[in-house]
Amino acid sequence: MQTIQQRFKVEYNYAVFFTQHLFDQKNPLLKDFFKDYTGQGFQRKALVIVDEGFAQYHPDLADQIRSYFSIAVPHIQLAPQIMIVPGGEASKNDPALFESLVEAVDVHAIDRHSFIIGIGGGAVLDLVGYAAAVSHRGIKLIRIPTTVLSQNDSGVGVKNSINFHGKKNFLGTFAPPIAVFNDLTFLRTLDDRDWRGGIAEAIKVALIKDASFFEWMEEHETALAHRDEEAMAYLIHRCAEMHTDHIAGGDPFEFGSSRPLDFGHWAAHKLEYLTDFQVRHGEAVAIGIALDCVYATQVGKLPEADLARILDLLNKLGFDLYHPKLSENEKVNLRNGLQEFREHLGGRLTIMLLEKIGKGVEVHELDADIIAKSVDYLEGSKIIHAL
């Protein structure tokens, strides 16, 4: 019997741009980007898909996009319909919504030389990215994130997904975008919950990778809580930089079970489902971080002084660190999230716990009784903030 052994590498390159007023005619960023796509012999097209919540705050957006492309990028033909899709995690739960995007690709003849442009929060970008990745085996994806969470974390990564059978991100792909455009001015219409929610991912990456960044957030906690744009611009850039550096230097397509950037996420994913997504992703991540940090202290890994600093920063930024769903059904529902996370990782449970601020260590089992005690700790020390 003869064997053919195949081996090859595929290189990915994409830029994360930081700008303001992206669709202003005076801003040449998009125009300059599309200069690299002027090949003759075929017509490049673009299908634009916009988060409904964002569109409601920007009623002139569709006209601005059409005007910009007609004047600055005339060689890219926009699909006649700029699609508006519901935002939030519910967008990933509706198979009909995914099918409508794929149908639009077909109706408007968006081929592999063309583009899908997603504008919105992380959930919508996950949905749009998944539709782009599976249509024609991959259409060029441009992400324009409109929330703190998507600008500093999910929108700059390589993953796309929808939820299925009650499990978060059960269907998905690793398919990098060809570009990400972060417009700081798009954050101005966020409510306080979504402004704050994205900061949780910055805290996450600082806790496992960069103690000095965590200290910076402690020093700027008042500015961040009061929506200072200069402070937020630095936070987004630094967090996105650390996120992309990790992807480039680690396991971008997650062939192993080690996922440091999922620190705090096993409980967060489960809590989102237990609350029917009334707790938003960033809020759930803050609770998940708090839970895992309390657990790490309970098992003697994380010093109590470090735990106090972490919980203090989360509290001062306005996060609730306990939700009654954590305790529901004698905490069995929450602990079931560990098994689901194990399956999501592909077999071996790997959880990041902190040894100190800026340094994490991976463990492969969590004690159910200590999880329960950690939940009780958060319940006993809870500070409830008005949402």
Nearest to 102 by CA among 69, 66, 84, 127: 127
Q: Is 33 exposed, middle or buried (0-12, 13-18, 19+ CB in 10 A)?
A: middle
Predicted confidence (pLDDT) per residue in 60-71, tens digit: 999 999 999 999
By percentage, how much of the chain surpasses pLDDT 70?
95
Asked if residue 386 has pLDDT above 50, the reply is: no
Mean pLDDT value across residues 168-180:
92
Asked if residue 201 has pLDDT above 90, the reply is: yes
**pTM score of the predicted model:** 0.90
Predicted confidence (pLDDT) per residue in 292-343, tens digit: 999 999 999 999 999 999 999 999 999 999 999 999 888 888 888 877 777 6
What confidence score (pLDDT) does residue 102 get?
97
For the chain, give every residue range classified as CATH 1.20.1090.10: 191-380
Asked if residue 257 has pLDDT above 60, the reply is: no
Pairing of strands 15-19, 167-174: unpaired
pLDDT band at 101; cut points 50, 70, 90: very high
Mean pLDDT value across residues 103-123:
96
Contact 232, 148 (CB under 8 A): yes
Residue owning tokens 């919508």: 124
Q: Which residues contact 59 (CB under 8 A, 6 or more apart)?
A: none
Asked if residue 94 has pLDDT above 80, the reply is: yes
Q: What is the CATH number of domain 191-380?
A: 1.20.1090.10
Of the options 3.40.50.1970, 3.40.50.1100, 2.60.40.10, 3.30.750.210, the CATH number for the domain spanning 15-188: 3.40.50.1970
For the chain, give every residue range classified as CATH 3.40.50.1970: 15-188
3-state secondary structure of 173: strand
What confidence score (pLDDT) does residue 254 get?
62
pLDDT band at 80; cut points 50, 70, 90: very high
